[in-house]
Amino acid sequence: MERQRVSIFDVARAAGVGVATVSRVLNSSPRVSPTTRARVEAAIEELGYHPSRLASGLSKGRQDMIAVLVPFITRPSVVSRLEGVIEVLDKSGYGTTLYSVASLSQRDRHLEYLMDRHASVGVIVISIPLSREHIASFRANGVQLSLIDTAGEDVPHVVVDDRVGGALAGMHLIGLGHRRIGFIGDEDLSGLGFASSYKRLTGLEDALVSFGRSLDRELIRLGPHGATTAKEMADDLLRLGNPPTAIFAASDTQALGVLRSAQANGLKVPDDLAVIGFDNLEVASIFNLSTIAQPLFESGVEGAQRLLCQLEGREVEQVKKVLRLELHARATTIRSAVGPMGTGLQRQLSAYV
């Protein structure tokens, strides 16, 4: 048999006060004398009382919940960001609700629900582009918004410059003498409009153009995100009559597939093929993979803090916050004593952007 819920009324009776006083104690209002406060707190402890968020939310007209909208929770980069978000939210007193979206319809369904102030006070969106209308609706409904890895007009967002990141990778490879540079990136099958892979490619083009060269369409392969498909695309590239001498992968996960392809094809890295990724996941340092590092966890922390900031009524000082990218040149682009899996001297050319 389920025990009866102990309500604010029970506490009030036990403490010999009115419900309003108990409510004041709960919300730490200053307008209550120390003695009664103590009595109430004792009663709360005694009865093992827990306030109902439901009732509180209904009464206040909004729920003390923060929703987090994420795509493809399988991707390590998304998970790292989410981790940062949770870290902050967890000690904030707000509950965290997770909404995973993998398709347009799912996105719209979730967004429509989240517009409701009864659902959450604030929403954190990770890597999912929002339309002007979406943002306007949130605003109209009084639901705060904080964006991570995606931009939005007049909405606090924390991003990196993917295009600059791509250029960084390109410059690095060009500086090493590479002229035929392949690219392996994402094809956006979901229709959600992920742009980071494309932006990184554009950055690569920037780098090439600045050296009087241009992007070779033949050396570009786009496909579903993942190491396995990346390997297949790299195989494809390496089978070309005039294959690339370097490959820039839009993520470390994909770079792993490229690495795998190189070895399967008997190519030495970085001599026969140079490889650079993006993200700087743990696996990158393990495999001595050159990469463009971006602060994933920090982006989550930052995004969550900015939402909390708004909820406290403070203005976010810097609506658009750009996090730094950093080139980590390791053994898959730079020859060292021991090769890409070795422990040789690991040069970290940190190019701060």
Partner DNA sequence: TTGTATGCGTTATCAT
Partner DNA sequence: ATGATAACGCATACAA
Residues that bind DNA (CB under 7 A): 5, 7-9, 16-21, 23-24, 26-27, 30-33, 35-37, 49-52, 54-56, 58-61, 118
Residue choice 45, 46, 108, 116 for contact with a second copy (CB under 8 A): 116
Site string for a second copy, 211-250 (x = CB under 8 A): ---------------xxx--x-------------------
Q: Is position 348 an interface residue for a second copy (rule: CB under 8 A)?
A: no
* Residues composing the chain: 353
Q: Which is nearer to DNA, 19 or 351 (CB)?
A: 19
CB 239 within 8 A of CB 182: no
Q: Which residues pair with 95 in a beta bridge?
A: 65
Cα(125)–Cα(141) distance, integer angstroms: 17
Cα(135)–Cα(143) distance, integer angstroms: 10
Q: What's the token pair of residue 315?
A: 């203005």
Q: Is position 5 an interface residue for a second copy (rule: CB under 8 A)?
A: yes
Q: Identify residues 292-331 at the interface with a second copy (CB under 8 A).
A: none
Q: How far is the CB of 168 from DNA (least distance, A)?
A: 50
Cα(208)–Cα(216) distance, integer angstroms: 10
Cα(331)–Cα(293) distance, integer angstroms: 15
Q: Which does 9 bind (CB under 5 to 8 A by kind): DNA, a second copy, none?
A: DNA
Q: Which is nearer to DNA, 60 or 314 (CB)?
A: 60
Q: How far is the CB of 32 from DNA (least distance, A)?
A: 4
Cα(139)–Cα(58) distance, integer angstroms: 20
Q: Is position 106 an interface residue for a second copy (rule: CB under 8 A)?
A: yes
Cα(301)–Cα(309) distance, integer angstroms: 12
Cα(126)–Cα(71) distance, integer angstroms: 7
Q: Which does 231 bind (CB under 5 to 8 A by kind): a second copy, DNA, none?
A: a second copy
Q: Is position 82 an interface residue for a second copy (rule: CB under 8 A)?
A: yes
| H or E stretch covering 79 | helix 76-90
For residue 162, give the nearest of 349, 299, 2 by alpha carbon: 299
| Interacting residues of 106 by C-beta distance below 8 A, sequence separation 6+ | 100
List of residues contacting a second copy (CB under 8 A): 2-3, 5, 50, 52-55, 57-58, 61, 63, 65, 68, 73-74, 76, 79-80, 82-83, 86, 90, 95-100, 106, 112-113, 116-119, 140-142, 226-228, 231, 256-257, 259-260, 263-264, 282-283, 285-287, 338, 341-343
